[in-house]
Structure 1
């Protein structure tokens, strides 16, 4: 498997071999891989070479280290196409996963600054501020904060926001959600985000901001979400202009 006469670096050969075992399912998500010592002895290479291969796979999201326990195959990332406007609950169910929500905060706050501008309300108007931890099959996936004008969606309660807000708006309030503008950027987990998402402080995360509109053009919500970088990836389909 390791060809020491090959011009291809040994660490890269081992890295590709391990990646292949993961992609073929020979090493399952959550399974602990052999230790650096065991891999070095098995393939008659140095532990430094093994460490370089393992580090690269950790950085690429294939493996995850757990202090005092070992190195494990990372859970498969959930793919989210960046087209079509769907809720978190709809996304998870479409992938055969069970969505769940922990409501961390539900209150009304006065609109100010950019929020008032984006939601087309006057400064001081009441907004729902909803902070939620979103889970899939019991695993934390995203931490989100959303703002919705109170006058637009009367009757929103803590019980309602523990499920799908979009479902309530469309089925119970009879509104049609039309479109959204969304931005996505890389970031790192701050202390509170890391605690809720069960990652290390400073771990890579995806920061998403979305402004959603009803079909008549009225602003519905502003959402700021922090997604685990090791569990989520977004896919963009593009066509070259002719």
Structure 2
């Protein structure tokens, strides 16, 4: 576990209980497992746990504010059949209900049929992202790699990312099934292919405790 969240940009919370893991697994049953990431929409089975009074959502208030709500969910699935890697980067888009032309928001993209937009950095820096691990993730099973403190560098140009990682260093976020990691959404991160490929199912949720400007609306999950 890293130290102060504001400084490092990441922290591991206590593990979810076994019954909560079972609820997640049931809610995600039938989700495709032959692709790297599945963007979830209308995930009704998750709403209660992830909501502001839920077992998972409630503790997030200390990081994202008392009005924090889940605004995007992605299921990442690695296995011996789908063993992928991801270069160092920042998450730079949010998901919204409908397109409105608001200064500072753009470009617009559609991912898996869902509308996304790149917001001003001050939106991203007020958000937090959590990763709920449904499988054990030791060092040889591709834990998320982060550059601690990189969220404080603002929006990092692509040609500067390697230098920021070199300055901040690298931390591997290993986990047990049920562990929950909390990250500053714009932290620089990466993922290697697993050295010993096996199932590595992770549910990632973005949280925000504020409304968007100009009539834009979070899509929710």
TM-score (normalised: structure 2): 0.25
Task: Decide which structure has the larger Cα Rg and report it.
Answer: 1
TM-score (normalised: structure 1): 0.24
More contact order relative to length (CA 8 Å, sep ≥ 6): 2
Higher strand share: 1
